[in-house]
Structure 1
Amino acid sequence: MPHVSYSPRAGITAGYFAQGCVFLSLTTRLPKLEDHWGLSQLGLTLIMLMIVLLAGAGSLLAEKVAPRRGSAIVLRAGLFAIGVALLVSGNSPNVPVLVVGLAVYGVALGMVDASTNMQAVSLEHQVQRTVLPSFHGSWTAGGIVGTLLTLALPHESVAMLSSALAILPVVVGCARFLPGSGSVPTPESAHGIPWRPILVVGAACVIFYTVDTASTTWGSVYFDHTLHAPSGLVALATLPYLVASFAARIAGDRFTDRFGAPRLLRSGAVVAVAGLVVVVLAPNWPVGVLGFLVLGAGIAVVAPLSFSAAATLTRSGGAALDPEVARARTDAVIARFNQFNYAGALIGSVLTGAIGTGSLRLGYAVPIVLVIALFPLAASFERSRLAAG
């Protein structure tokens, strides 16, 4: 089996971890941010919309820069920018400064999302086995830590938590990542990319991020406003979802190689639908905890398998490419594929909040229909189809 040195792999893992920790520490503190700055639910929705749109812009920036300078540089710049954004937003004296800080965070979010996946798919092609689920599991592990911080420090000030968290992405930005020459792919190298099947697996990615963002962004608000959980326990909406997702992703590498992605996706869709039904019908917050736990176990592997499939399609069905051209071409496609992330986040965060303005139960009912669509989409993840492009 091809060998990859430990340091770059550890650096990529840390990049995912830092991203998940910061993002979940932010979203699980939404009720506190709402109270601290006097924001309405509509105001929170508009802020989330801004972050999602700017994250899409950050991903496009990564698409332009990574093929020329390498994805490692994009990843470092994004991590450093997240540290700055946390300091500005967490210590802001008013709402306009808060918005500026979160705008910087949105752009950096897109840069880090795109570049961590670029690094991970490059490593997956080097080791020639499935590793994307466990890398995404590192993101989930970071999310668990971020959520636990919210639970453990319910009365800590926003400024203190944000300033402390700002250290993490800056430290991780100094880690070692996979090197790249930053060669520019020739125009001819773009020919033959099978965009149509990439769009199909992208649809599965949209479905995942719709459900995932609805859970991580609005879960704490749902527990607070609808299920009337004690104020110190509203983050329990997110924690069981993340714990189940982490377990599923850590096992996902082995299960994918053993059972195949299509079977794993279909069985996960059944579990996810059951979890969403429990969430929507939950009479109280303990039942809601169970619903989010089941949901996380079912839906978790969709995103990493989608990125893995898109990367495989990028390098399939044609003549062998120069390794640096192949990497640059894959980086560009992964950055563009990352837009499906934000399309799903837009639906999950904005529409869930908008449709669920009266009651978030209705907002959580919308993703059920989308998850059912994973059944026909699963066939597109068959390894032989991906290899043929």
Structure 2
Amino acid sequence: MNDISQSIDSAAAAPTPLVTKERAAVAMLFFLNGLVIGAWAPKIPFFSEALGLSELMLGVMIFAFGVGSLVLMPIAGMQIARHGSRRVVEVTTLLFIPTVVLVTLVDNVWTGAVAIFLFGGLTGAMDVAMNANAVEVERKMRRSIMSSCHAFWSLGGLCGAATGGFVIAALGVIGHVFLLAAVCLVLFLIARPMILPDAPHPSDEPVKANLPMTPLPWLIGLIALFCMIPEGTVLDWSALYLRNELNASTEMSGFAFAAFSFTMAVCRFAGDFVRDRFGAVNTLRFCGVAAILGLVIAGQADSVTVALVGFAITGIGISNMVPIAFSAGGNIPGLAPGVGLSVVTTMGYSGILFAPSLVGLVAEYTSLSTVYTAIPSLLIVVLALSKLARHADRVTGH
């Protein structure tokens, strides 16, 4: 009889098939969000030109995008705690898609500021909701999927950025944005029936729907922050570093972020398998060491080739650190997934949105070589906190 019970329990605990409709749905949501953000990049010059913005004013507008994200992310987390991630991801996606049309049609600075605030805010709100739904899918499947979800976001961003210029040239800015919105709406309508409804968690402690006062989500948020600062620094400053300090050509300077992005995307598709095999704590530690090594190599490089190798290794390291932090944030005992996740995502994305500005200030008085050599000190803190990544393993039975 005990053998029968153990067999039943073992079958119930076994991971589900590698691909399910719920996993496909959340992957499509990540791809959709990335597609819009990628397509936004080639539209920025047109946005600036339409509103007659100086570089300073464009910087303020992009800052408003970041502020919108940081304002609406916690609100989304609280709504997820009350209504579940499925309902919130449906609402935020339907509100998010029109905002990319709105930022294209505005014709003055004030409406532009409102539009880009909403665009950034709903980007962030959808981000929290789709990450929360990915946590729910992980729970149901009893296997890691977060890294591959983020890989689909990267793939969407690549598709949006790579096709945006060509489509704008062929159809114009207005034609491009309406085609983009139509594609996104179709993707959403395909995904919507398959989105996983939030399952009850009767074994969990009672959840809290307000911002948490316990330190755990904030410490996991610190991990996300210190992982995303290097990512933002590579994104915004690597090309300038190669060009100004290593004398790279304009064509070669763009390869720094390309090398970083390529290895990060590949390793994110492999990251779920690695995490399920070795556990979140060990995976985070390996990634942290790789990122530290890559950044030091890039910062101390005496040639463009060595720097590119360093940035590629950094991509391997950074790839799965943030997905692990997000999974951990969505599985904190006693907190609704959306609440813990909103803290972690808000702190993490602030690293990409605001830290690169501080990097510019530091680089003004030192050098970007010094910056890339010093930033690994943040990842040493991540390694010190790496045991907290064990919460990411609650979904996979470790």
Residue 115 of structure 1: SS of its match in structure 2?
helix
Q: 2:119 aligns with which of 105, 109, 127?
A: 105
1:308 aligns with 2:308: no
Distance apart, 1:130 and its partner CA? 1.8
1:242 aligns with 2:261: yes
Q: Does the 8 A contact of 1:265 with 1:301 survive in 2?
A: yes
Answer with 151-160 or 200-209: which moved more: 151-160
Structure 1: distance between partners of 2:149 and 2:353: 23
1:62 aligns with 2:81: no
1:33-112 to structure 2, matched below 5 A, reads: 39=53, 42-112=56-126
Structure 2: distance between partners of 1:268 and 1:142: 23
Answer with 246-255 or 93-102: which moved more: 93-102
Answer with 243-252 or 48-57: which moved more: 48-57
Which structure would you say has the larger Rg?
A: 2
Match of 1:277 in 2: 296
Answer with 303-312 or 22-31: which moved more: 22-31
Change (3 A) 1:385 1:307: closer
Please tell me the residue identity of whatever aligns with 1:342.
Answer: Y
Structure 1: distance between partners of 2:109 and 2:249: 27
Q: Does the 8 A contact of 2:279 with 2:393 survive in 1?
A: no
Answer with 20-29 or 229-238: which moved more: 229-238
Match of 2:382 in 1: 374
How many aligned positions are there? Answer: 372
Distance apart, 1:125 and its partner CA? 1.1
Match of 1:322 in 2: none
Structure 2: distance between partners of 1:195 and 1:294: 35
Match of 2:11 in 1: none
Residue 312 of structure 1: SS of its match in structure 2?
coil
TM-score (norm 1): 0.79
Residue 195 of structure 1: SS of its match in structure 2?
coil
Match of 2:280 in 1: 261
Please tell me the residue identity of whatever aligns with 1:371.
Answer: L
TM-score (norm 2): 0.77
Change (3 A) 1:108 1:166: same
Q: Does the 8 A contact of 1:307 with 1:334 survive in 2?
A: yes
Distance apart, 1:89 and its partner CA? 1.9
Change (3 A) 1:385 1:67: closer
Give deviations 1:313-372, integer Å, cap 9, x for gaps.
Answer: 326xxxxxxxxxx8xx22232223322223323443432344446876566555332123
Match of 1:178 in 2: 196
CA RMSD of aligned residues (A): 3.9
Match of 1:344 in 2: 351
Structure 2: distance between partners of 1:6 and 1:385: 20
Change (3 A) 1:102 1:210: same
Distance apart, 1:73 and its partner CA? 2.5
Please tell me the residue identity of whatever aligns with 1:373.
Answer: V
**Residue segments in structure 2 that go unaligned for 5+ positions in a row:** 1-13
Q: Does the 8 A contact of 2:97 with 2:181 survive in 1?
A: yes
Change (3 A) 1:386 1:70: closer
1:120-199 to structure 2, matched below 5 A, reads: 120-149=134-163, 159=174, 161-174=176-189, 175-176=191-192, 177-180=195-198, 189-190=207-208, 195-199=214-218
Please tell me the residue identity of whatever aligns with 2:196.
Answer: L
Give deviations 1:215-263, integer Å, cap 9, x for gaps.
Answer: 3355566677777877677754433322211111111111112222232
Structure 2: distance between partners of 1:363 and 1:28: 28
Match of 2:271 in 1: 252
Please tell me the residue identity of whatever aligns with 1:262.
Answer: V
Please tell me the residue identity of whatever aligns with 2:345.
Answer: N
Residue 143 of structure 2: SS of its match in structure 1?
coil
